Amino acid sequence: MTRFSQWKLSMKLTVLVAVSLAGSLVFGLLAYGTLDTLKVNGPLYAQIVSGKDLIADVLPPPAYVIESYLLVHEMQEASDPAELSTLIETGRRLRQEYDARHDHWARELSDGSLRRAMVERSYDPALRFFEIRDKEFIPAVQAKDIAKATQLLHGPIKASYAEHRRAIDEVVELTAESNLAHEANAAHVIQRKTWMLFMVAFLMAALNISLAVAITRNLTRRISLGVEAAKQVAGGDLSGVINVDGDDETGALLSAIKSMTQSLSSLISRVKESSVALMSTATQISATSKDQESTVKGFSASTAEIAAAAKQISATSQELLRTMTEVRSVAATSASLAESGTAGLGEMDVTMQQLSSSTGSISAKLSVIREKANDINLVVTTITKVADQTNLLSVNAAIEAEKAGEYGLGFLVVAREIRRLADQSAVATLDIEQMVRLMQGAVSAGVMEMDKFTEEVRRGVKSVAQISSQLAQIIEQVQGLSGRIDLVNEGMRSQSNGASQISQAMTQLTDGARQTAASLREFNSATGSLREAVGGLKQEISCFTVAQ
Amino acid sequence: MLVVIFRVSDARYAIPCERIIEVIPLVVLRAEPRAPAWVLGSFVYRGALTPVLDLCQLMGGYPCPKRLSSRVILTDCTLPDGSSIRAGLLAEHVTEARRLNATPLSGASLGSTPYLGPVVQEGGNLLQIVHADRVLLGSEAALAELFSHRSLTAGETDRTATQP
């Protein structure tokens, strides 16, 4: 087996083809020998046919009625009834055999002249022969009617037999002909098949050899390609290009090598890039750490300043605390002032309310006066009417007195007096009217003034209420202020505390900065060793060639 | 001579008392259809229908204001056909009956109105006499139209009514 696995692939394939060719040659020779032994007119065929010929030669043929014909003659000459019955029995058996063979050939033979001769032309006279024998001849023989039997034997029986014999001869002739034709056909078929066998064998051999050659060439070419590529990769050259043609196992192998090369190539190029980036990063880190070192130094100075500032804040907030206490006392004073102001406003409000009610009563009284003036007006009107009537009366009285002539003279004087009185009363009523009108005007003006005054009082009450509420707000806010001042105080105190805490924290921070500077120095040395390591990596990778 | 004094637009006039029956206050009047503006309407005086004429409208051309001193002077008026009817004359400031002693002023008066009489100086004022019975003699056509349909009956009732 070790020897076999050390063989080359082309050698293995050649051996395989040679073995299969030899096998097929042996198979073909065996098949030819078998054919030659078993062919028609061959030795085996000749033996079988001679056996059959022997049986046909010695056996009386059941499909040919010659034996029955012989038996009829024997029946005619038989004298003993026992011998006759045996003969009759034999005749019946022969007829059954004939019928069986006839049925057999009626089934077996195909349509054609042979079937017509055998099944129709030979069967009809045979049937007639058997019918005459069984129904006429045998009763005649049994009845010892020799004359009739002889007459039948030489008459219809002989004729039927002769006809049957002719048909059988024809059958024999036809069968011999067809046998000859079958034999010739078989020989021809065998000759042709043999030739075809040789042809197929030759073709198969040629195809085998050419296929083996093609497969060998294909396989070895691809594998040598893969081997070449692998050798390149081993040597560090990753820039080679591999052509993959085909999906079979060797193709898969090639494509696997190709993808392997590609991924290796990309990996190497990425490693190269990364090492460059790593180098620059290391440089940056070292620069940054130097920066940080200087920053830390500045940082510690700043923390010292901050600590001083925090101390100042603490002092300032304590001062502020004192100021806030003063503010608080001032606010309390202003709150008490506002409260006393509210009380004063309350008194003022009460006074205003009283004023409002008194103006209301004055208004009511003024309206009473107006009503009275109206009453006076009514009276004046009445007086005016009376004066008018009086005047009219005086005029009419004067007229009547004039008409009465001398008798009316005295009456005329009376009438004149009446008129004078009426005129005076009219003047007086005019004066009263004037005065009442003046009074009414004054009352109206007073009412208007009172209304205005009431309005103003109402407004005053409203503004007092407003001021009062504003004062209440002020008080509230001042009281709230005191709470807020407490809050501010609290805040100040906590600020002062916070400032001292900040100062402490700053001291701690300075210590921390010092420590940070030390650790940065360590970090710097670490960065130097990182750079050295990256340089080594770069050198290692530079032995790989990568396609650009 | 006793006269009753009245005014028409600041001018003072006087009606002699012989012709005046009575001075009465202005009462509610029944309006006269199709009458001229100076006929105010009618009222019943002592059982007789009596027309009231507006002297302010007739003489001054303005309606008489309704005041207490605006009064109706009842008088008998002569119609153009010679018959007379009783009528009321509404005038302003009828408050005084006065005795006139002065004589009428000489000189021609401008108007030819039939009812305006002579002008008299009384105190510092001028007074013109108005003949109340001639008031209806001025505008014949209008009067004829107004009174033609009832002059007879009115005249009859007037006379019967004034007899007592």
Question: Tell me, what's the pLDDT at A77?
Answer: 81
**Searching chain B, which residue's CA lies closest to the CA of residue A393?**
B23
What six digits make up the tokens of A146? Answer: 């020799």
Which chain B residues are closer than 8 Å to A394 by Cβ?
A: 97
Residues contacting residue A230 through CB under 8 Å, at least 6 positions apart: A257
Q: Which of B62, B60, B55, B48 is nearest to B135 (CA)?
A: B55
CB neighbours (10 Å) of residue A371?
11
pLDDT at B152 over 50: no
* Contact flag A399-B22 (C-beta cutoff 8 Å): yes
Q: Which residues of A26-47 are buried (b: 16+ CB within 10 A; e: fewer)?
A: eebeeeeeeeeeebbeeeeeee
Distance CA A85, CA A75 (A): 9
What six digits make up the tokens of B146? Answer: 């107004």
Which chain A residues are closer than 8 Å to B95 by Cβ?
A: 391, 395, 419, 423
Which chain A residues are closer than 8 Å to B20 by Cβ?
A: 399
Which chain A residues are closer than 8 Å to B68 by Cβ?
A: 384-385, 388
Question: Tell me, what's the pLDDT at B141?
Answer: 56
| Most B-contacting residue of A386, A388, A402 (CB-CB within 10 A), to test interface | A402
pLDDT in tens, A303-337: 878 878 887 887 888 788 888 888 888 888 887 88
pLDDT band at B163, cuts 50/70/90? very low
Q: Is A221 helix (H, G, I), strand (E, B) or coil?
A: helix
pLDDT in tens, A417-435: 888 888 888 888 888 888 8
CB neighbours (10 Å) of residue A129?
25
pLDDT at B160 over 60: no
Residues contacting residue B113 through CB under 8 Å, at least 6 positions apart: B138
pLDDT at A3 over 80: no
Phi/psi of residue A454, each to 5°? -60, -45
pLDDT at B142 over 70: no
**Which run of H or of E encompasses B146?**
helix B140-147
pLDDT in tens, B51-81: 999 989 888 889 999 888 899 999 988 877 7
User: Is A398 touching B (CB cutoff 8 A)?
Assistant: yes
- Rounded to the nearest angstrom, the minimum Cα separation between B92 and chain A is 13
Question: Tell me, what's the pLDDT at B91?
Answer: 93
What six digits make up the tokens of A102? Answer: 């006839």
CB neighbours (10 Å) of residue B65?
9
Report how many Cβ contacts below 8 Å link chain A to chain B. 41
**Which of B4, B18, B68 lies at the smallest CB-CB distance from A395?**
B4
CB neighbours (10 Å) of residue A101?
15
pLDDT in tens, A500-540: 788 788 888 888 888 887 888 888 888 888 888 888 888 88
Angle, CA of B55, B57 and B62, to the nearest 5°: 130
In percent, the amount of chain A with pLDDT more than 90 equals: 1
What six digits make up the tokens of A55? Answer: 């049986």
Cα A289 to its chain centre, rounded Å, is: 52
A515: amino acid identity, one letter:
Q
Q: Tell me the CB-side half-sphere exposure of residue B52, using CA atoms within 13 A.
A: 25
**Searching chain A, which residue's CA lies closest to the CA of residue B23?**
A396
Task: Evaluate the CA torsion angle B93, B97, B103, B108 in order and state its sign.
Answer: positive
Give the residue-averaged pLDDT of A271-281: 85
**Which of B2, B18, B71 lies at the smallest CB-CB distance from A392?**
B71
Q: Which of B140, B138, B113 is nearest to B128 (CA)?
A: B113
Distance CA B133, CA B127 (A): 18
User: Is A499 touching B (CB cutoff 8 A)?
Assistant: no
User: Is A102 touching B (CB cutoff 8 A)?
Assistant: no
pLDDT band at A2, cuts 50/70/90? low
What six digits make up the tokens of A467? Answer: 């001021």
Range with the poorest average pLDDT among A249-263, A350-364, A383-397, A478-492:
A478-492
pLDDT at B155 over 50: no
* Contact flag B97-A419 (C-beta cutoff 8 Å): yes
Question: Tell me, what's the pLDDT at A364?
Answer: 87
Question: Tell me, what's the pLDDT at A448?
Answer: 87
Which chain A residues are closer than 8 Å to B94 by Cβ?
A: 395
Q: Is B44 helix (H, G, I), strand (E, B) or coil?
A: strand
Residues contacting residue A325 through CB under 8 Å, at least 6 positions apart: A489
A120: amino acid identity, one letter:
E
What six digits make up the tokens of A47? Answer: 């033996």
pLDDT at A214 over 60: yes
pLDDT at B149 over 60: no
Task: Evaluate the CA torsion angle A164, A167, A171, A173 in order and state its sign.
Answer: positive
pLDDT band at A249, cuts 50/70/90? confident
User: Is A399 touching B (CB cutoff 8 A)?
Assistant: yes
**Which of A384, A388, A395 lies at the smallest CB-CB distance from B97?**
A395
pLDDT band at B146, cuts 50/70/90? low
pLDDT in tens, B79-135: 777 788 889 999 999 988 888 887 887 776 666 677 888 888 887 888 898 888 888
* Contact flag B95-A415 (C-beta cutoff 8 Å): no
pLDDT in tens, A87-112: 888 888 888 888 898 888 888 888 88
pLDDT at A197 over 50: yes
Which chain A residues are closer than 8 Å to B66 by Cβ?
A: none
Query: Could you give the ipTM of this predicted complex?
Result: 0.76
Question: Tell me, what's the pLDDT at B138?
Answer: 65
Which chain A residues are closer than 8 Å to B17 by Cβ?
A: 398-399, 402-403
pLDDT at B156 over 50: no
**Which of B2, B20, B25 lies at the smallest CB-CB distance from A392?**
B25
A151: amino acid identity, one letter:
Q
**Which of A391, A399, A415 lies at the smallest CB-CB distance from B20?**
A399
- Specify the DSSP class assigned to residue A408: G
pLDDT at A137 over 60: yes
pLDDT band at A476, cuts 50/70/90? confident
Distance CA A540, CA A505 (A): 51
**Which of A384, A395, A403 lies at the smallest CB-CB distance from B23?**
A395
Strands (E), A80-223: none
* Contact flag B2-A395 (C-beta cutoff 8 Å): no
| Pairing mode, strands B39-45 and B48-54 | antiparallel
Range with the poorest average pLDDT among A264-268, A440-444, B152-156:
B152-156
pLDDT at A441 over 60: yes
Which chain B residues are closer than 8 Å to A417 by Cβ?
A: none
* Contact flag A388-B97 (C-beta cutoff 8 Å): no
What six digits make up the tokens of B127? Answer: 């007074």
**Searching chain B, which residue's CA lies closest to the CA of residue A381?**
B68
**Searching chain A, which residue's CA lies closest to the CA of residue B18?**
A403
Phi/psi of residue B123, each to 5°? 70, -125
Q: Which of A22, A386, A412 is nearest to A201 (CA)?
A: A22
**Which run of H or of E encompasses B99?**
strand B84-99
The DSSP secondary structure of A460-516, one letter per residue, reads HHHHHHHHHHHHHHHHHHHHHHHHHHHHHHHHHHHHHHHHHHHHHHHHHHHHHHHHH
Dihedral angle computed from the Cα positions of residues A36, A39, A41 and A42, in that order, rounded to the nearest 10 degrees = 40
Dihedral angle computed from the Cα positions of residues A520, A525, A530 and A535, in that order, rounded to the nearest 10 degrees = 140
Which chain B residues are closer than 8 Å to A385 by Cβ?
A: 68
Mean of all residue pLDDT scores within chain A: 84
Rounded to the nearest 10 degrees, the angle between the axes of helix A409-541 and helix A249-403 is 170
